[in-house]
Amino acid sequence: MPASRPSPERKSRRAYHHGNLRQALLAQALRTIHEDGVDALTLRDVGARLRVSRTALYRHFSNKKALLSAVATEGFREFRLALSDAWDKAGRGRAGFEAQGLAYVRFARENPSHYRVMFGGALREDGCDTDLDRESTGAFRVLVDAIAELQRAGNTRPEPPELLALVAWSGVHGLAMLAIDGQLERPGVVIDDVLRFHVARLADALGIRA
Amino acid sequence: MPASRPSPERKSRRAYHHGNLRQALLAQALRTIHEDGVDALTLRDVGARLRVSRTALYRHFSNKKALLSAVATEGFREFRLALSDAWDKAGRGRAGFEAQGLAYVRFARENPSHYRVMFGGALREDGCDTDLDRESTGAFRVLVDAIAELQRAGNTRPEPPELLALVAWSGVHGLAMLAIDGQLERPGVVIDDVLRFHVARLADALGIRA
DNA sequence: ACCTGAACACCGTTCAAGT
DNA sequence: ACCTGAACACCGTTCAAGT
């Protein structure tokens, strides 16, 4: 650690309003998106809520898209933890696979706006955000690793785990999108039953037995 | 037809620039979205390209969201035709089911921006657009009807066709979203192989035999 | 280095006015 | 009925200037 710096917390409190403005900006963006949706997110509002100039943000993010990219990155991090947690807590195996699927959809339904930002399309447009790439790959790998483990035990189809994982990922992704679009709310259907049926079919499709 | 109106095509050519402005606005919006993406769609630009005032649009659409809703409605109409066509041309049966899945993803990949508008979330926000609801339901019913036909021949699982259709729909929807996000373009994967493998797994999952 | 206020070029939408 | 131009309240972003 550095030896002697002039006690930052005293003087800077009024001069520079935030010790960690970047983190505060990101947290506020997440809060606004969660509460009011992504359309309500304006850089001016974020600044105002943090008692900071409208342009202070540009010291930490090159533009609005970069902020949204950071929001998506954080989303994939939470996502990865949720999937990994579900897999472990359900005791792995086929039950773990299905629990992961349900955890996937649960995250999307609890954070619909955040989820939409993660899969919005601000992603791959131009110069790819390496942090975002790394985190989204990390979340996907939780699923690939789970399937690879099942496969080593001889409990799946023989194709490469990445290919099998893609089928499962697409299935829950599509299901999550339909769920947050409200297209699963039809008369006479119980959503939780649909979700359970769906992940069981995905497990079948991959030949998951144990 | 009405008896006598004063030959509209002569005088109105300069007075009212369009005989069918609504249709022209919708066509221009579709063109812009297809060529430059939804972010490039501004009401001012649509008006300018049609040599019409910026506010002329408000005579035909209550606001920008209504225009996008009409765009989505038109998308579901084309969608329904593409799915129905694929089912028939492949001779129905399991081949027809798989052809429908591939046609679904093909539409999304050929019209990524349009597809994103269709599933964007402008949909269900507040007062539902009945036209949009009707068209999106119509597209979904093509799939439900196909599965019901397979089921009558004893070639699927026994659950309600709507439930089975939801699994297939989610699967291809998720696959389409990943495809247009560029997340299927990994080293060493041939996208068409992934798509074919995927729809075959969906057919398996529903117990489609013939 | 980090933050500010004024300014610029946009945008959707409203409204009184024209024909 | 259908269209127009001016105006309003926003927005992201830039930039010279402060500490």
The pLDDT of residue A19 is 74
| pTM of the predicted model as reported, rounded to 2 decimal places | 0.88
Question: Alpha-carbon distance A42 to A65, whole Å?
Answer: 11
Among all chains, which residue has been given the structure tokens 């996008």?
Answer: B68
Query: Can you read off the two tokens belonging to residue B28?
Result: 């221009």
Mutation site, A133, A140, A166, A208, interface B, largest B CB count within 10 A: A166
Q: Which nucleotide is nearest to A65 (CA to C1')?
A: D12
Closest CA to A163 of A183, A143, A180, A190: A143
Distances from the Cα of A105 to the Cα of A10, A109, A115, A152, B107, angstroms: 46, 6, 10, 27, 25
Q: With contact defined as beta carbons under 8 Å apart, do B171 and B108 qualify?
A: no
List of protein residues whose beta carbon is under 7 A from strand C: A 16-18, 21, 47, 51-56, 59-60; B 15, 41-45, 54-55, 58, 63-65
pLDDT at position B76 over 70: yes
Nearest chain A CA: its distance from B57 CA (Å): 22
Give, as one character, the DSSP assignment of residue B38.
G
pLDDT tens for B8-61 read 333 333 345 667 899 999 999 999 999 999 999 999 999 999 999 899 999 999
The pLDDT of residue B13 is 32
Question: Alpha-carbon distance B72 to B122, whole Å?
Answer: 9
Per-residue pLDDT in tens (0 to 9) along chain A, 210 residues: 333 333 333 333 334 566 789 999 999 999 999 999 999 999 999 999 999 988 999 999 999 999 999 999 999 999 999 999 999 999 999 999 999 999 999 999 999 999 999 988 765 565 567 889 899 999 999 999 999 999 999 999 999 999 999 999 999 999 999 999 888 887 877 899 999 999 999 999 999 987
